Amino acid sequence: MTAVLVFCMLSLFLVLGKCLRVFIPLLQKLYLPSSIIGGAVALIVFKCFPELVPAEVFDAIGKLPRFLINVVFAALFLGVTAPKFAKMAAVAFPQLCFSQFIAWGQYVLGLGLAGFVLMPLFGVSPAFGNLLEIGFEGGHGTVGGMAAVFDEYKWSDGIALGYTVATVGMIIAIVVGMVLVNWANRRGHVKEVLPLEKMDRLHLKGIYRRREQPAAGRQTVLCDSIDSLAWHCALIGAAVSIGYAILFCFQHAETGLFPKASIRIFSGFPLFPLCMIGGLIIQNAFQRLRIAPLIDGDQMKRISGASLDFLVVSAIATIRIEVVLQNWLPLLILVASGTVLSVVMVLFVAPRLFRNAWFERAIADFGQSLGVTATGLLLLRTVDPESKTEATAAFGYKQLLHEPFMGGGIVTALALTLVFSIGWIPVFIASVVFLLFWGILIVAVVLRNRKR
């Protein structure tokens, strides 16, 4: 019965969130996803009327993001055929430098502020600084996936704080992003921008016109053998299984090779980045066996998107408000610093780094650096609705190189584990080194652009 109640409650709040988006103009102008709206309503209801939700149901809702993020990451590269590396690198390299610099900058800012300022003043955890990259670059899904790490190292407050950073970051990305879009439009930096007053009602409500409704995917197998949706879900399950097997082997190898070690890296390592590797293994195997057409990328996107919507609404609904209120000032400082970093990168670095369509390329990464990939694409669609510039291709190619490591990738997972196990200072120093590395590459690209 618990599973039924969890599914029913989250479904109702998602439906309510969509209805509110359809009928309230302010929510339309803010471009807030229905999952965030529904999650916020659920949070209010759960806090004001706790007797409506049995304790076991509330706990189950809180654990759901930890599972769903595995689905999201397992589906990430299933059904995706990567282009040739040379072509991908040529288009995506400046974009990769830009996004990597922001991500490592979030580590340097977050860990530096936490270690040198917030810990002495407010007594926050050393891992408080990780919340900037986990919440901003990673989003709700990454926080949910890291929940086991927070629990392993006895800092469950980090889950509520991470969800808060992710929620605030997405709102800031949309609001500040639209301010930057209007600024760029007035300055003549973009020519294809679609201002809010020119968008039709259905677009603002988030509804396709009947004649423009795209297909949700292609059926790749006959239903008399296996339903196509069941087939794609099973492939995701297989990818998660591979990820789990990899983590199991790492954990037992670490125990066997270092039986007396006091530090265990993989005991608290999250599963979801390894699910992404599982998906890559399956995709590569299918390509080598020449049966890759059996995997439809669009169906994988729909399964991943549905999982993410349920993840977000459940994550926001279970935020512990009391923890957020106790840490509101250090959270404010952390969030403000991350926002300033992304704005500075757009206004001062992007015009010099990107030779063509500099604002379109920058605003996509701005949205991702504060929200998630979908937020970046939303802002990009606002300034380049018909993909007439190279920004969409550059952003997409960059994802194949950026996503496995940052914003929920291997580095995100490893950095939090290392902060808990060996301390924040070594991770901070390593972050500074990587930030300088990507900074040098940015300078090299800028100098090359000046010579052309």
Give domain limits for the chain.
2-198+221-451
Q: For position 182, what pLDDT does the model report?
A: 82
Rg (C-alpha) for the chain, rounded Å, is 22
**Higher local confidence (pLDDT), 230 or 87:** 230
pLDDT greater than 80 at residue 374: no
Q: Give the pLDDT of residue 402.
A: 85
Q: By mean pLDDT, which of 29-33, 185-189, 227-231, 242-246 is the weakest?
A: 29-33
Q: Looking at the predicted structure, is the pLDDT value of residue 154 above 70? A: yes
Asked if the model's pLDDT at residue 92 lies above 80, the reply is yes
At 115, is the pLDDT very low, low, confident or very high (cuts 50, 70, 90)?
Answer: very high
Supply the pLDDT for residue 83.
Answer: 66
| Helices 297-317/55-74 angle, 10° precision | 150
pLDDT band at 108 (very low <50, low <70, confident <90, very high): very high
Q: What is the mean pLDDT of the chain?
A: 88
Least confident span in 23-27, 232-236, 292-296, 379-383 = 379-383
Q: Model-level pTM?
A: 0.82
* Rounded mean pLDDT, 350-360: 90
Mean pLDDT in residue range 390-418: 83
In this model, does residue 3 exceed pLDDT 80? Answer: yes
Q: How many CA atoms lie within 13 A of 435 on its CB side?
A: 15
User: Is the pLDDT at 192 greater than 80, yes or no?
Assistant: no
Residue 87's pLDDT is what?
67
